[in-house]
Amino acid sequence: MGMQLVFCSAAKSLLMLIAKRSIYQPLRVVANSSSFEVCRLEERNLQDCCPDIKGHISSHYEIIWVLKGEGSLWMNLEKQRVAAGSICCIKPNLCHKLEAEGILEGFRLSFNESFLGLGDHEIESGYRSALISMFDGEQALITDPATTADMQETTEKLLCEFNNADLFRTEILRRYLKVFLVYLARQFGQAHSGQFRQKRTVDLVERFFALLSRDFGIKRTVSDYAGQLFVSPNYLNEMVKKNTGHSAGYHIRQRVILEVKRMVTFAGASTKEVAYTLGFSDMAHFSRFFKQNAGLNFSDFKKAYMHADNA
């Protein structure tokens, strides 16, 4: 009960902080009322879409497929180049922004978890693993030229069906989307065939990251998460490291560091505000934690950010 009160207080503090600093226009939270959407990139003027805003967060999965043109995609404060053939898989609640250099041609797909169907029991474990890995990677994929034509034809059918109101439209959209994703997962699976684990391990890692996304503000140890998943801390560390290259403890610490960076970048938070909001006992403890896990002092990070923002 006491921990819940601390969390509620921290959440309230963060909301007040963001409200107080709303002049920064930090990000947009996009409310998706539709379970599925598809559009052409060239139909959206990406460069003029809220230019003062540093990104947006959606509750949906998103896929951005660039067929022609070049640009940059920001995901969790990291910038990467995108060009013809790039497919960017963006999972829910990840801050991102696409910046076009000229006109981009391609497609943007957006869908919620139920439409994606990851929870369906009949889904093959290898396909599920490929999808999870694709959306967790945060790096653009390059489509195989041999299947580009088939994937583009499927996407055109998706777009056509999305724009009509015939009977059983949702069922057809769901099936076309699955065909598109199978093409993509097949390419990803072939390139990473040695990296997939048994279904039980994949599900364990997926549940760990779901808990981490929800509870990182109040749970900081591997034991906290291992207890909820009914495994030992050593086993959880081992399985997460086998699937991601880093231990569960590393991901816990880096998720907190990411939230600190977001608070500074999007709300200009001070050391005291960050430490209080994220539940650190004192500012000295927070400063040590940040330096150990971010590789530099908090004050140096904030100065570097302010210098880059004013450049």
The model's pLDDT over 108-165, given as tens digits with 9 standing for 90+, comes to 999 988 887 765 656 676 777 778 778 877 788 888 888 999 999 999 999 999 999 8
Contact indicator for 43, 108 with CB cutoff of 8 Å: no
For residue range 175-229, what is the model confidence (pLDDT) as tens digits? 999 999 999 988 876 655 555 445 567 778 888 999 998 888 888 899 999 988 8
The yes-or-no verdict on residue 23 having pLDDT over 60 is: no
Structural domain includes residue 41: yes
Q: Is 108 in the same domain as 243?
A: no
Distance CA 180, CA 83 (A): 20
180 lies in the same domain as 222: no
Instruction: Say if residue 97 is in the same domain as residue 240.
Output: no
Domain boundary among 195, 219, 253: 195
CATH assignment at residue 258: 1.10.10.60
pLDDT tens digits for 222-259? 999 998 888 889 989 999 998 888 999 999 999 998 88
When divided into structural domains, the chain yields a total of 2
Query: Are 130 and 39 within one domain?
Result: yes
Residue 223 resides in a domain: yes
Q: What is the pLDDT of residue 29?
A: 52
Range of the domain at 241: 197-310
Q: Which one of 195, 225, 246 terminates a domain?
A: 195
pLDDT at 17 over 50: no
Do residue 81 and residue 183 come from a single domain?
yes
Residues 59 and 143 in one domain: yes
CA distances from 4 to 104, 215, 283 (A): 46, 11, 22
Q: Do residues 40 and 155 share a domain?
A: yes
For residues 121 and 243, state if they share a domain.
Answer: no
Q: State yes or no: pLDDT of 300 exceeds 90.
A: no
* pTM as predicted: 0.57
In a domain, 140, yes or no: yes
Residues 174 and 106 both lie in one domain: yes
Taking residues 88-92, report their average pLDDT.
89
> Which pLDDT does position 192 carry in this prediction?
58
Residue 122: predicted pLDDT: 60
pLDDT at residue 85 tops 50: yes
The reply to whether 169 and 210 lie within a common domain is no
Residues 58 and 152 in one domain: yes
Q: What is the chain's length?
A: 311
Angle (CA) 287-293-298 rounded to 5° is: 35
Residue 159, classified by CB atoms within 10 Å of its CB into exposed (0-12), middle (13-18) or buried (19+), is: middle
pLDDT at 31 over 60: no
Regarding whether 83 and 188 lie in a shared domain, the answer is yes
In this structure, is residue 267 part of a structural domain? yes
Is residue 21, in this structure, part of any structural domain at all?
A: no
